Structure 1
Amino acid sequence: MNAPDRYERFVVPEGTKKVSYERDTKIINAASFIIEREEHTIGNILRMQLHRDENVLFAGYKLPHPLKYKIIIRIHTASQSSPMQAYNQAINDLDKELDHLKNALEAEFAKFSRDY
């Protein structure tokens, strides 16, 4: 069978960066971020978080090929911000949201286990 091994979907190969940055040479304040070993779940969550930023003019992602396990996120920002700042802010905001969700779930589990 020609299918790649399952671990290739999530293990980043040696010598490969998890995230790489490419500045757009034709559009000011635009760049692409290539994230290795991720797919639609992270791409869509990150895109939606970037849309919440008022300095982001465009944010989108694509999966170049179903057998190439990477996503490409394109960000175009207003002059007050840079794509790198918007990307870092989105990651930090998502980290805070997920931490809040984790704490809320743990509190509910603790309440549930105490009651039963």
Structure 2
Amino acid sequence: MNAINRYELYVLDEGEKSVEVSEDTKIPNAATIKIVKQDHTLANLLRAQLLGYSSVLFAGYKVPHPLHPYFLLKIQTDGSITPAVILEKACTDLIGMVATLESKFKREFTMNNVEGGVQEDAYGVPTTTGQWESGGAYVDLG
């Protein structure tokens, strides 16, 4: 087969950098960031997070070829903050959001497993059977 080994898609080679930032000389306050050994999942999360900041004018990504495990992220800001700094802020905020989601997820399933506790369905109505026995698979993380 012509396929590369699976581990080469996510394990960094010796001396390989995971993130490379190059300033764009044609567009003011812009940079192209190459992130290796990642795919659309992280790229789309970063793009969406970056577009939520008022100082970001443009954020987009592309995967040049599906057999090459990297993507290029283009960021342009209004000049009040550099693209590298806003990318670091986006990563920090995403890590915080994932940690919050994880704690809410664990709390929800811990409360559902408590013996003798009153269980409710998705609409807050007390149920006599467990959530999984009744066929509901809804988890309220709000």
Gaps of 5+ in 1: none
Residue matched to 1:21:
21
Residue matched to 2:66:
66
Gaps of 5+ in 2: 116-129, 131-142
How many angstroms apart in 1 are the aligned matches of 2:108 and 2:34? Answer: 37
Secondary structure at the residue paired with 2:61? strand
How many angstroms apart in 1 are the aligned matches of 2:62 and 2:114? Answer: 45
Could you state the TM-score of these two structures normalised by the residue count of structure 1? 0.95
Secondary structure at the residue paired with 1:60? strand
How many angstroms apart in 2 are the aligned matches of 1:112 and 1:33? Answer: 43
How many angstroms apart in 2 are the aligned matches of 1:106 and 1:14? Answer: 37
The CA RMSD measured in Å over matched residues stands at: 1.1
Larger Rg: 2
Residue matched to 2:42:
42
Residue matched to 1:106:
106
Moved over 6 A (4+): none
Offset of residue 46 of structure 1: 0.4
Secondary structure at the residue paired with 1:74? strand
Residue matched to 1:32:
32
Offset of residue 13 of structure 1: 1.0
Offset of residue 88 of structure 1: 0.9
**Greater helix content:** 1
Secondary structure at the residue paired with 2:27? coil
Could you state the TM-score of these two structures normalised by the residue count of structure 2? 0.78
Q: Per-residue CA shift, 1:41-98, capped at 9, x if unaligned?
A: 1000100000001000000001011000001100000011110121011111101111
Pairing of 1:4-15 with structure 2 (within 5 A): 4-15=4-15
Residue matched to 2:78:
78
How many angstroms apart in 2 are the aligned matches of 1:72 and 1:12? Answer: 17
Secondary structure at the residue paired with 1:79? coil
Bigger relative CO (Cα 8 Å, ≥ 6 apart): 1
